[in-house]
Amino acid sequence: MTIDGLRVLVTGGCGFIGSHITQSLSNKGAQVIAFDNFSSGYRENLEGLSGDVRIIQGDIMDYRKLSRACKGLDVISHQAAQLEITKALADPITDLKVNTEGTLNVFRAAVENGIRKIIYASSAGVYGEARTLPQTEEHPTDPNWPYGVSKLAGEKYADIYSKYYGIEISCLRYGIVYGPREWYGRVLTLFLRRALEGKPPVLWGGDQIRDFIFVTDVVDFHNRLLEESDRAVGVFNVGSGQGTTIRNLAELVVETYHLEEPKYEDTGEGEMSKEVKGRKRLPLELKRMVLDNSKAKKLGWRPEVSLIEGIKKEYAWLQNNVHRWKELRY
Ligand SMILES: NC(=O)c1ccc[n+]([C@@H]2O[C@H](COP(=O)([O-])OP(=O)(O)OC[C@H]3O[C@@H](n4cnc5c(N)ncnc54)[C@H](O)[C@@H]3O)[C@@H](O)[C@H]2O)c1
């Protein structure tokens, strides 16, 4: 497949990752429909694009509208989701519906419209606590949060739809994706928001290990799957392959923005922070997540953006978009 001229619908196309996908596909000559209900997406994420991009305001729970929007298309990139961990814990039914029923609607719409290729945004959250590092795609799936269960259900349906209907579905287990247009609430965003005010990062522990992957590296892999369609079916980790402790991340931010040493706060899991107003430390927090990306690399992909470069790009975006990081989502 070549991307030039491809007709693609991106669910969640006005969100953080979806907007980067839409932008990149459009720059490569695809005709793109961003299908989004604006629960967390922004029209301004797609402002200034010169290519063939159309926005449809719609909900993946509205099967008829979704299926009509898919008419005559070649590919669906499914990025829309309910992804707030605390919301999923408080209201697992909505999480289940949006992420599982909504994903099934996407697969059904593909069948109805004869679409042969889908890329599905899954999550490293399907693994739960790491038993071995780095985690390969064969690592047991034992999610610690409802969100991981609903994402895993999407993968299982993907497998059935691939086999039964012959649709090529690639499931991308993203690590911690970061970069411009990220939503405010996760650890790096908390550090950067404070850095902008000259305040040091606040640490709850700091030994937690995460795999940070810059958003354009995710998009590059996504696009490669479209171009390499015959080798692209199944589940893929999309991470840097590097584990970073949250303490190291904080130190990097301190060094780059000349801040005081990180502040340690004695906040237990599920407890409210005193320093970071309105933010709880997540319950059932993962200790370690590092993704083995060798399967993705076999397709010729490599993450290109180093953590420090990526942090600087996100910070530069934040300086012009502080209005976007007023409300916490997590
Ligand atoms: N950001 C990460 O680190 C990360 C990690 C793992 C997986 N993911 C997955 O990547 C995808 C994109 O996440 P993101 O970080 O860009 O989040 P985001 O919130 O910025 O994007 C989600 C988009 O989907 C839209 N949306 C939500 N529910 C919808 C619905 N019912 N119908 C139509 N549109 C809807 C939102 O308005 C938003 O534009 C999600 O599927 C998420 O689960 C993200």
Structure confidence by residue, pLDDT tens digits, 170-179: 999 999 999 9
What lines the ligand 1 site, CB under 6 Å? 11-12, 14-18, 36-41, 59-61, 79-83, 98, 102, 121, 123, 174, 176-177, 183
10, 11, 17, 122: which to mutate for ligand 1, most atoms within 8 A of CB? 17
Q: Are residues 74 and 197 in the same domain?
A: no
Q: Are residues 161 and 204 in the same domain?
A: no
Q: Are residues 317 and 184 in the same domain?
A: yes
How far away, in angstroms, is 259 Cα from ligand 1 center? 32
Q: How many domains does the chain have?
A: 2
Structure tokens at 215: 């958003």
Q: What is the pLDDT of residue 166?
A: 95
Q: Are residues 77 and 218 in the same domain?
A: yes
Q: What is the DSSP letter of 288?
A: B
Q: Are residues 32 and 167 in the same domain?
A: yes
Q: What is the pLDDT of residue 230?
A: 73
Classify residue 84: in a domain, yes or no: yes
Q: Are residues 191 and 127 in the same domain?
A: no
pTM, rounded to two decimals: 0.98
Provide, rounded to the nearest whole percent, the portion of the chain with pLDDT above 70: 100
Q: Are residues 159 and 258 in the same domain?
A: no
* CATH code, domain carrying 252: 3.90.25.10
CA triple 36-90-145, angle to 5 deg: 85
Catalytic residue among 42, 63, 120, 147: 147
Q: What is the pLDDT of residue 232?
A: 83
Separation in Å, CA 6 to CA 32, 100, 168, 193: 8, 27, 16, 38
Classify residue 152: in a domain, yes or no: yes
Sorted by sequence, the CB contacts under 8 Å of residue 76 that are 6+ apart come out as 8, 9, 10, 11, 70, 106, 109, 110, 115, 117, 118, 119
Q: Are residues 44 and 148 in the same domain?
A: yes
8: enclosing H helix or E strand? strand 7-11
Structure tokens at 265: 């706060």
* CA pair distance 118, 204, nearest whole angstrom: 39
- The answer to whether 279 touches 330, Cβ cutoff 8 Å, is yes
Q: Which atom of ligand 1 is nearest to the CA of 59?
A: 32
93, 118, 171, 174: which to mutate for ligand 1, most atoms within 8 A of CB? 174
Classify residue 295: in a domain, yes or no: no
How far away, in angstroms, is 15 Cα from ligand 1 center? 6
Separation in Å, CA 156 to CA 103, 175, 225, 251: 11, 19, 19, 39
16, 145, 314: which to mutate for ligand 1, most atoms within 8 A of CB? 16
Average pLDDT over residues 295-306: 97
* CA pair distance 123, 125, nearest whole angstrom: 5
How far away, in angstroms, is 134 Cα from ligand 1 center? 25
Give the confidence band of 231 by pLDDT, cuts at 50, 70, 90: confident
Q: What is the pLDDT of residue 233?
A: 87
Residue with tokens 């509205």: 62
How far away, in angstroms, is 36 Cα from ligand 1 center? 10
39, 151, 235: which to mutate for ligand 1, most atoms within 8 A of CB? 39
Q: What is the pLDDT of residue 297?
A: 97
Q: Are residues 285 and 231 in the same domain?
A: no
178 is catalytic: no
How far away, in angstroms, is 179 Cα from ligand 1 center? 14
Residue 22 domain boundaries: 7-175+213-238
Q: Which atom of ligand 1 is nearest to the CA of 13?
A: 39
- Residue 34, classed as helix, strand or coil, is strand
Classify residue 124: in a domain, yes or no: yes
Classify residue 32: in a domain, yes or no: yes
Q: Are residues 154 and 22 in the same domain?
A: yes
Classify residue 200: in a domain, yes or no: yes
> Considering Cα of 310, then 281, then 289, then 261, what sign does the dihedral take?
positive
* CATH code, domain carrying 232: 3.40.50.720
> Considering Cα of 40, then 43, then 46, then 52, what sign does the dihedral take?
positive
Q: Are residues 200 and 74 in the same domain?
A: no
- Nearest residue by C-alpha to atom 9 in ligand 1: 121
- Nearest residue by C-alpha to atom 19 in ligand 1: 40
Domain boundary residue among 223, 238, 253? 238
Classify residue 154: in a domain, yes or no: yes
- Nearest residue by C-alpha to atom 25 in ligand 1: 12
Classify residue 297: in a domain, yes or no: no
For the segment 9-59, what is each residue's pLDDT rounded down to a tens digit?
999 999 999 999 999 999 999 999 999 999 999 999 999 998 999 999 999
How far away, in angstroms, is 7 Cα from ligand 1 center? 21
* CA pair distance 317, 189, nearest whole angstrom: 12
212: enclosing H helix or E strand? strand 212-214
For the segment 195-229, what is each residue's pLDDT rounded down to a tens digit?
999 999 999 999 999 999 999 999 999 999 999 87
Average pLDDT over residues 111-130: 98
Average pLDDT over residues 230-251: 95
How far away, in angstroms, is 264 Cα from ligand 1 center? 31
Over the chain, what is the mean pLDDT?
Answer: 96
Q: Which atom of ligand 1 is nearest to the CA of 17?
A: 16
Q: Are residues 18 and 44 in the same domain?
A: yes
